[in-house]
């Protein structure tokens, strides 16, 4: 099978789907790998390194037209999908439930498409869990972005001129990104407070040295696969009221809350932003999905009432070497699970295949998109 890796075209995207070390492993397993020239430049991998690893460097058109399997970080644009030959396979992030145009393009092209964000979060698939590997890095980088922006240090420091109090960091969400943000902020010496609507996260937060801001849950909270799938407006209002005092006293606020397939919940209101001290910093990690913070803007840093709001839409791409390396290992592990060097396995009832296959030979098959197709 010929594995093809195009260059990413999304704004500010520096990652690449395969790194040279992973290319070398795939070549040893019998796959042929072709890479678009310049695909790895943003992650500091030049064409010669890929050539040394056993890949063939070529142009964009050849990558799409000759690839049996196209590997990407972000899904291709519709005009790129039209270049793929019928019955070729796409493996990338797709966010298919909220991207019907992409699904339609795959159907029209007669290809099959797997979405890395739809891989079931089960123990057997941990090595394929792109969302966790990228969120881990994003949580780390979010703290550094805030620390670099705020006009003070994070740890307590005693000097001859007096003692500097530690900065206070409030983190919304104790998922993978939130937990890494807690650990990073604590390592930098900050006082860390954390809120999450899942009470079971309290122990994890406290084990990392964070203080858990506990909000009593209610029956409206629906959790599935580790994600919050639904929560009532009443609960969100109660959460906002409780954490408002903590936000007011914070130097840094980091929000990480996402609901798959839906707009991100608003957690930090305009009033909460206004209550914060002049010079405080907020990092909205959910900005691409609508944002947790009123006033945040995608890929922009804005100042509202003296508070800096960072809306970096693709934080993992700011750490392209590590992010690409982890993504490449995730996607290569997935590839080897669904294919061998000669053909796709097409084990349609197997849990990982069934959970991640969005389009099969031009037909939408995933429940999340079959419903959309039926109502379109």
- Whether residue 139 has pLDDT greater than 80: yes
Quickly state the pLDDT bin for 220 (edges 50, 70, 90): low
pLDDT at position 373, please? 45
Q: How confident is the model at residue 103 (pLDDT cuts 50, 70, 90)?
A: very high
The active-site residue out of 48, 85, 126, 277 is 126
End-to-end CA distance of the chain: 35
Q: Is residue 253 predicted with pLDDT exceeding 50?
A: yes
Cβ 219 vs Cβ 242: under 8 Å? no
198 — pLDDT class (breaks 50, 70, 90) = confident
Contact 23, 11 (CB under 8 A): no
pLDDT confidence of residue 131: 94
Mean pLDDT of the chain: 91
Round to whole Å and give the CA distance between 115 and 368: 12
pLDDT band per the 50, 70, 90 thresholds, residue 262? confident
The CATH number of 2-118+320-365, from 3.40.50.720, 3.40.50.1010, 3.30.1330.60, 3.65.10.10, is 3.40.50.720
Residue tagged active-site, from 21, 47, 132, 187: 132
- As a whole-number percent, the residues of the chain with pLDDT over 90 amount to 82
Percent of the chain's residues with pLDDT above 70: 94
User: Do residues 53 and 21 touch, judged by C-beta distance below 8 A?
Assistant: yes
- Portions of the chain given CATH number 3.40.50.720: 2-118+320-365, 135-318
Tens digits of per-residue pLDDT, 48-102?
999 999 999 999 999 999 999 999 999 999 999 999 999 999 999 999 988 999 9
| Token pair 């790194």 in the structure block, residue | 19
- How many Cβ atoms from other residues are within 10 Å of residue 195's Cβ? 26
Considering 37, 227, 275, 368, which one is annotated as catalytic? 227
- Could you please report the per-residue DSSP string of 56-107? EEE-HHHHHHH-SEEEEEEPPPHHHHTTSPTT-EEEEE--GGG-HHHHHHHH
Which residue among the candidates 21, 47, 117, 121 is catalytic per the annotation? 121
Binning pLDDT at 50, 70 and 90, where does residue 371 land?
Answer: low
CB 323 within 8 A of CB 317: yes
The question of whether 180 is a catalytic residue gets the answer: no
Instruction: For residue range 141-168, list pLDDT tens digits in order.
Output: 999 999 999 999 999 999 999 999 999 9
Backbone angles phi, psi at 284, to 5 degrees: -95, 100
- Residue 237's pLDDT is 75
pLDDT of residue 374: 44
Give the mean pLDDT of 123-149. 96
> Token digits for 171?
């983190």
Residue 235 CA to residue 156 CA, distance in Å, equals 35
pLDDT higher at 223 or 178:
178
Stretch 204-226: mean pLDDT: 74
Average pLDDT of span 323-327: 98
pLDDT at 268: 92
β-bridge pairing 89-93 and 222-224: unpaired
Residue 305 — pLDDT band, cuts 50, 70, 90? very high
Q: What is the mean pLDDT of residues 291-298?
A: 94
- Asked if 180 and 135 count as a contact pair (C-beta separation under 8 A), the reply is yes
Instruction: Report the pLDDT averaged over residues 105-120.
Output: 95
Is 50 annotated as catalytic? no
Tell me which CATH homologous superfamily contains domain 135-318: NAD(P)-binding Rossmann-like Domain (3.40.50.720)
Both tokens of 276, joined, read 């914060």
Is residue 132 flagged as an active site residue?
A: yes
**Whether 45 is catalytic:** no
Cα separation, 251 vs 134, whole angstroms = 26
Active site residue 129: yes
Residue 287 banded pLDDT, cuts 50, 70, 90: very high
Class of residue 89 by CB neighbours under 10 A (exposed 0-12, middle 13-18, buried 19+): buried
Integer Cα distance of 192 and 229 in angstroms: 26
Q: Residue 133 pairs with which residues in a beta bridge?
A: none
Cβ pair 246, 258 in contact under 8 A: no
Cα dihedral sign, 84-90-92-93: positive
Count of beta carbons in the 10 Å neighbourhood of residue 244: 14
Closest CA to 188 of 233, 157, 228, 227: 157
Query: With bands split at pLDDT 50, 70 and 90, how would you rate the model's confidence at 4?
Result: very high
Res 376: pLDDT: 42
Strands 112-115 and 357-360 turn out to be antiparallel
Structure tokens at 208: 């990392």
Which are the contacts of 224, defined by CB distance < 8 A and separation ≥ 6?
A: none
Greater confidence (134 vs 266) lies with 134
Query: Within 10 Å of residue 140's Cβ, how many Cβ atoms?
Result: 20
């Amino acid at each position: 099978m010929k594995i093809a890796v195009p260059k990413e075209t999304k704004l500010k995207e520096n990652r690449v789907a395969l790194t040279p070390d992973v290319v070398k492993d795939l070549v040893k397993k019998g796959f042929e790998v072709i890479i678009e020239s310049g695909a790895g430049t943003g992650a500091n991998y030049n064409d010669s390194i890929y050539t040394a690893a056993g890949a063939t460097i070529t142009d964009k058109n050849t990558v799409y037209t000759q690839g049996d399997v196209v590997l990407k970080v972000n899904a291709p644009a519709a005009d790129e999908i039209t270049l793929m030959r019928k019955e070729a396979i796409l493996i990338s992030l797709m966010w298919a439930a909220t991207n019907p145009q992409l699904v339609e393009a795959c159907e029209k092209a007669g290809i099959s498409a797997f979405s890395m964000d739809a891989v079931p979060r089960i123990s057997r698939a941990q090595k394929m869990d792109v969302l966790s590997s990228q969120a881990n890095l994003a949580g780390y980088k979010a703290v550094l972005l805030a620390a670099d922006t705020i006009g003070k240090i994070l740890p307590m420091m005693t000097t001859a001129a007096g003692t500097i109090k530690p900065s206070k960091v409030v983190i919304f969400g104790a998922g993978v990104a939130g937990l890494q943000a807690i650990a990073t902020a604590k390592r930098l010496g900050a006082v860390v407070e954390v809120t999450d609507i899942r009470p079971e996260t309290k122990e994890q937060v406290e084990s990392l040295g964070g203080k858990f801001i506990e909000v009593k849950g209610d029956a409206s909270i629906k959790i599935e696969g580790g994600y919050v799938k639904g929560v009532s407006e009443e609960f969100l209002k109660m959460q906002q009221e409780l954490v408002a005092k903590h936000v007011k006293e914070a130097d840094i606020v980091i929000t990480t809350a996402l609901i798959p397939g839906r707009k991100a919940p608003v957690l930090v209101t305009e009033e909460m932003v206004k209550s914060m001290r002049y010079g405080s910093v907020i990092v909205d990690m959910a900005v691409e999905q609508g944002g947790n913070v009123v006033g945040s803007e995608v890929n922009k840093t804005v100042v509202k009432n003296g508070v800096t709001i960072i809306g970096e839409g693709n934080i993992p791409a700011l750490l392209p070497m590590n992010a690409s390396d982890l993504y490449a290992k995730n996607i290569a592990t997935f590839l080897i699970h669904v294919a061998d060097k000669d053909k796709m396995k097409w084990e349609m009832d197997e849990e990982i295949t069934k959970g991640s296959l969005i389009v099969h030979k031009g037909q939408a098959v995933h429940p999340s998109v079959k419903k959309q197709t039926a109502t379109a």
